[in-house]
Structure 1
Amino acid sequence: MLDRILPILSTDYSWTAAAVALLVGYVTICKVLRYQRARSNPYLQLYKTREDYSRMTAQHAYEIFGLTYALEFPWLLDLATKISTYRTIAMPSVAKLLVSTGQFNEPKHAPKRYADTALLIGEFVAQPPGSSRSVAALARTNYLHEIYQKAGKISNKDMIYVLGAFVLIPIRFVNRWGYRKLSPLETCAFATHWKRIGDGMHITWEPFPSNASGFKDGLQWLEELDAWCAQYESENWVADENSYKVGQMGTTKMFSRVPQSFRPILDRVISALMDDWLRTVMMFPKPSPIYGLAISSFFAIQGFVIRNFLPPRPFSRAVKSSSLMYDPKTERYNYKGYDIEPWYVKPTTSNRYGLDAWYNWILGNEIPGSSDKFVPGGIRIEDTGPYKYIGKGKKEFEREKEHLFAMNLGGCPFGH
C-alpha cells in the first residue's frame, strides 16, 4: 500500500515545490524590474545630489513629472487632482468668487466651465513648458484671472494657495497610498514643474521666507509652500455654505456617469478621502469609520499587488495625461470623452452610437451631437471661459504670449 502512496505524495510535493519556486521567482522578477525602473531613471545621472537639484530645468522637471504620471501612478494622481479641487474651494474667498459668478455651481454654466478649466490646466501642465500650446493656455488663463484680480476678487495669496493644492495633495496621496513613495528626484521635479507654472501665472512668492534671497531648489520651495499653505488654512478656513455649493456641483460632475442609486455611497467615499478639517469646512457629513477602513484596505492591497505581482508598465502602455485632441490646422481642441455634457466632443459614429453613448443615454445624460451648443467642432483656446468673454481679449492674449515666450519657461526657475 505504502509503495503506491509514496510516489503520489512525492509527485505532489514536487509540483508544490515547483509552483512555490515559480511564484517566488516571478515575484522577485516583478520587484526587481519595478524598482530598477526607479533606480535607472536617466535623470539621476544629471541630478545626483541635492546641490544638483538647484540646476534642474523646468523642461527636465516636466519630463520627470510626465514619466512618473504616465508609467507609475496615473490613476492615483488623477484621483488626487480631483481631491485637490475640493481643497481649493474650501477657501472661503475662492468659493465666494465661484458662487458669485455662478460659473461652477449652477448646472447651466458648470459643465462648460469645468470643461474649459480642464482644457487650460491640461495644456499648461501636460505640454512642455515654453511650448506654443502651454504658453497659449497660460496666456488665456492669465487674461481671465486678470479681470478678477483688477476687481480685487482674486489675491496673490489665493493664487498661491490654489496652486499649492495641486502640488501638495498629489504628492501626499502618492506617499500615503502609492505602492511606493516618490523619490527625492521625483518630488523635486513635481515642485519645479509647478513652480514654473506659478511663475508663468505671474504669481509672486513674497510670503515665503526665502523669496528675497532666492530659493535653493524645488524641494526648498515645496517645504515653504507646504508650511505657508498650512498657516493660510488655519487663518482663513471656516465652514462655508459657498464651499458646500461648489463642492456638491463638483461631486455631481465626478459621478455623473454613475447610477443615482450608488451616489450616496460614493459621496461618503469622497468624504472619507478628506481629512477631518477639510470635511468640516466643506460641510460634508462624516462617514462611518468603515469607509476609512475600506479605503485603507483597498490601497494597501493594491500596493501589495503592484509591488509583488505586476511588472512595470511598459512605455507602449504609457497613460496619456490628457484626453484632448488638438488640430494644428484649425487650432481647435476636442475632447475624446466627457462627464456631464459632451462639450467639444465630435459626434463621430463611435461617440454617438457606441456603448459609451448608450450608457450615457440610459443615465439621462446628453450625448455627442445632441446639440450644437456643445460646440462639437471644437474650441480655440482663446475662446475658453465664460460666455461673455468668448471672442474677447485677443490682443491681450497675443501680447501675453509674447511676454511668456520671452520668460524662457523651459529653463531653470531658480536662476542657477
Structure 2
Amino acid sequence: MEFRWQKGDDAVKRFENLGRIRRLDPVADALEIYRISVSREFPWDYARALELALYRTYAVPDIGRLLARTAELTERTQKRYDDTVLLLDTVVEHGFATEEGRTAIRRINRMHRSYDISDDDMRYVLSTFVVVPRRWIDAYGWRRLSRHEIVATTEYYRTLGRHMGIPDIPGTYEEFEALLDSYEEAHFGWDEDARRVSDATLGLMASWYPGPLAPLLRTATLALLDEPLLRAFRYPEPGAATTALVRRAVRTRGRLVRLLPPRRDPHFARQNREVKGYPNGYRVADLGTRPVPGLRGCPVRHEGTSAAGPAE
C-alpha cells in the first residue's frame, strides 16, 4: 500500500474513497473518479481552485478585455458566476451522455457561438481546469491528489474539450501543465478593462461575507495569488508576512479536514453557499449568456467555430 494507515479504524476510513478510486480504471472510469474527487474528497478545494482557474484567464488581455465589453462579469457578476458554476457542475453530476449533461454542453457551446478565438487560447482555458486544481489541492488539500485522480481529471477534461470542439487537446497532465506555463509566460499582461473584470470578481467574493470583512478578504485573496497574476493586474503584493499567514491558514484547514470522517453524501457545486441567484431553482437550458451583437472573440471556442466541431 502507498499509505501507511494511522492506528484506529477512523484513520483507515478516512481513505475509503481513495481506495475506491484506486479500484477504478483512471481512463475508462474517469468521470466516476473525477466525481468522487470533486464531490466527496475535495468539494471546497475544487470550488476555490476552479474559481482561480477561471480568474487566471482574465490576465490574458484579449480575454479580459472581451469579458469587460460584454459586461457580464462587471455588471452581472453574481449571475455569470452562478451560471458558469452550474453549467460545469451539471456535467460533473450527470455525465456527458445524459439529457442534463448534453443540455449543459449544448448551452455552453451555443451561448458564445458567434465569438471567435484561437485554438491556442481554447486549449489554454481548458488547461487551467486541469492544472490549477491539482496545484491547489497539492498545496492546501487534506491530502495530495493520487496519480489515478490526476489521470482521470485529465481524461475528464479531454472529453469535455472534445464535446466543445477543441482541436489538438493535450494527451497527458504533463502536456497540459507545460501548455499552461508557457502560455501564461507569453501572454499575461496589463489591460485596464481586464483589471475591471478582476476587481469585480474580487468584489463578488467579498460580498459573500459580512461587509466589515471585505477589505480583509480582498487582502487574503491577493495573498493566494502568485506573482505573475499580481503583476499582470498591477496589484500591490500583500507582503511576505501576510502571504505566509494566509497560506498557512488555508493549509491548516486542510490538516483539520484530514481528521474528519469521509464524506458519505456527495456535495455538488450547485449546493455551494456562493451560488445565490436561483433560490427557486433553475432550468439548465436557461442558464448562461446570450451573444452581444458586434463582439468577436471569447475565452472558449464554442459550437461552429472549430473545423472539428463539438461532439455532442
Same fold (TM over 0.5): yes
Q: Structure 1 stretch 295-304 or stretch 257-266: which is displaced more? A: 295-304
1:190 to 137, 153, 168: 153
TM-aligned CA deviation for residue 37 of structure 1: 4.0
TM-score of the superposition, structure 1-length normalised?
0.64
- 1:71 — aligned with what? 40
Q: 1:266 to 1:147 in 2, by over 3 A?
A: same
- 1:322 — aligned with what? 270
Amino acid at match of 2:186: E
What SS does the corresponding residue of 1:82 show, helix, strand or coil?
helix
Q: 1:159 to 1:125 in 2, by over 3 A?
A: farther
Q: 1:231 to 1:139 in 2, by over 3 A?
A: same
What SS does the corresponding residue of 2:128 show, helix, strand or coil?
helix
Residues 104 and 110 in structure 1, CA contact (< 8 A), matched pair in contact too = yes
2:9 to 29, 32, 38: 29
CA separation in 2, counterparts of 1:380 and 1:182?
30
Q: 1:45 to 1:378 in 2, by over 3 A?
A: closer
CA separation in 2, counterparts of 1:227 and 1:70?
27
Amino acid at match of 1:127: H
- 2:65 — aligned with what? 96
Alignment of 1:207-222 (within 5 A): 215=171, 221-222=172-173
Identity %: 27
CA separation in 2, counterparts of 1:223 and 1:66?
21
- 1:311 — aligned with what? 261
2:290 to 358, 364, 386: 386
- 2:141 — aligned with what? 178
What SS does the corresponding residue of 1:103 show, helix, strand or coil?
coil
What SS does the corresponding residue of 1:295 show, helix, strand or coil?
helix
- 1:146 — aligned with what? 113
Please tell me whether residue 44 in structure 1 is matched to residue 44 in structure 2.
no
Q: How large is the RMSD of aligned CA atoms in angstroms? A: 2.8
- What is the total number of aligned residue pairs between the two structures? 295
Amino acid at match of 2:47: D
Q: 1:117 to 1:78 in 2, by over 3 A?
A: closer
- 1:62 — aligned with what? 31
CA separation in 2, counterparts of 1:115 and 1:33?
34
What SS does the corresponding residue of 1:147 show, helix, strand or coil?
coil
Alignment of 1:226-305 (within 5 A): 226-305=177-256
CA separation in 2, counterparts of 1:378 and 1:124?
15
Residues 243 and 281 in structure 1, CA contact (< 8 A), matched pair in contact too = no
Residues 90 and 237 in structure 1, CA contact (< 8 A), matched pair in contact too = yes
Q: 1:46 to 1:114 in 2, by over 3 A?
A: closer
Q: 1:136 to 1:37 in 2, by over 3 A?
A: closer
1:200 to 163, 168, 179: 163
What SS does the corresponding residue of 2:115 show, helix, strand or coil?
helix
What SS does the corresponding residue of 1:99 show, helix, strand or coil?
helix
- 1:118 — aligned with what? 85
Query: Of the two, which has the highest radius of gyration?
Result: 1
CA separation in 1, counterparts of 2:51 and 2:157?
17
Q: 1:170 to 1:337 in 2, by over 3 A?
A: closer
TM-aligned CA deviation for residue 279 of structure 1: 1.2
Alignment of 1:342-361 (within 5 A): 343-346=277-280
Alignment of 1:334-345 (within 5 A): 343-345=277-279
TM-aligned CA deviation for residue 157 of structure 1: 1.7
